[in-house]
Chains A and B, each alone.
Chain A
């Protein structure tokens, strides 16, 4: 049954009305949109939307929240950008991560920032992380089934201390202490779960996050670029580091010169 939600966006047609063909029959055109959707109302592919691949992670520990992400965006097999900002600053004490469709994430995070500010103005106090994540998740739930692709984590510090929620475009919203989202997440989880302790210092936690993102970019082709690490504490968020993952590789696995066993030298001229 197609849900009868009204579309909030101007001049949008109901997703169920239009039937887009799943292939562009005209040939090999690069970089258009693939708005693939599962479900009976087929608003299917064009080509490839810009997708934020993906290795993003966040975890809560004793001192606050660490949020980290890579910076690669892909369109199918083509890397459309290596410098995408996947950690967006909703306000000085709350961060959101982006994975999934780039435009969807950017637009709805910006919208969330507006709503949070309106809440502050209307209620004379900052919005909680719980509230912000619920605002976003309700919006995404109302577009459920229409093809949005958003997998985000809202991390922040409010009156109750550190808060972390995972929100996605299926309408799911989970509270938790450790999350990783994206195609690189299995690799990031491996490193993160292994090294996690609740009572780490801020530097240890940042280093763990950096390693986890690095390992995700190492093994996942869709992740790469710059690994950014942010820390959210009682005074708000602070960017801890931004490192090119290529250089992180040589930092973690420096090239050891192999001992030369047999050296070839030119024969002396006869």
Chain B
């Protein structure tokens, strides 16, 4: 682990999921923090409220996650002082991409999903790799359980690609309650087969009336 001078990262496991709807966005992450085969804590939040319409969920190395969150929160505060308003989700998305790329040669070992509402009130989800490549999508999963979750979301939510011409409408047809149920189901399934996912899932829902949070218990084994 950190005793080696040539390997300074650690993977703390965990899974994050986000789904964008026509006027809501659901972001969820489990709360387990592990290293190797040990669990450090069952109550670790991987979600950070960056702005009132913008939430970041991160899996990977939680040391880098904390540093990244602090960095973005500080930049957001400066933006608010300078512009007298909150940052929109697409603006935060690009800020995050640049922040990650500036450490291209010593990366943040983080797999991020940014979720929120864009300036039209529609749900948006941005998914990232470790060095800042990003894309706006309708849904996403990152982390150790992502490979178990994404196929299910593809099956339930897959919509025509935005690259098609003539363009086809790509709105997720689910209602907010259905999307939250889907997220709960998907975490329950991932918990069954991924050792790093479990304990609790923290679900954050952003819609026009604000941010709402709920916790659901998962298997603790």
Contacts and interface: CB of A to CB of B under 8 A. Distances in A.
Does B associate with A? Answer: yes
Contacts of A84: 135
B164 A243 contact: yes
B144 A30 contact: yes
B3 interface: no
A18 interface: yes
B129 A80 contact: yes
A18 B6 CA distance: 7
Interface stretch (B77-85, B105-113, B116-124, B198-206): B105-113
A50 B7 contact: no
Contacts of A11: 102-103, 106
Interface in A99-131: 101-107
Given A106-B97, A225-B161, A12 B129 contact: no
B6 A242 contact: no
Contact of A106 (B9, B105, B132, B144): B132
Interface residues of A, number: 55
A33 B147 CA distance: 16
Given A30-B144, A50-B129, A226 B102 contact: no
Interface in B144-164: 144, 146-147, 161-164
Residue from B9, B134, B163 having most chain A Cβ neighbours under 10 A? B163
A71 B107 CA distance: 25
A32 interface: yes
Contacts of B131: 33, 49, 101, 103-104
Interface of A: 7, 9-15, 18-21, 24-27, 29-33, 35, 43, 46, 49-50, 71, 73, 75, 78, 80-85, 101-107, 146-148, 225-226, 228, 239-244
25 contacts: A7-B105, A9-B105, A12-B102, A12-B103, A18-B105, A21-B6, A29-B144, A30-B144, A30-B147, A31-B111, A32-B109, A32-B111, A33-B130, A46-B9, A49-B129, A49-B130, A50-B129, A71-B161, A81-B127, A81-B137, A103-B97, A103-B104, A104-B131, A147-B105, A242-B165
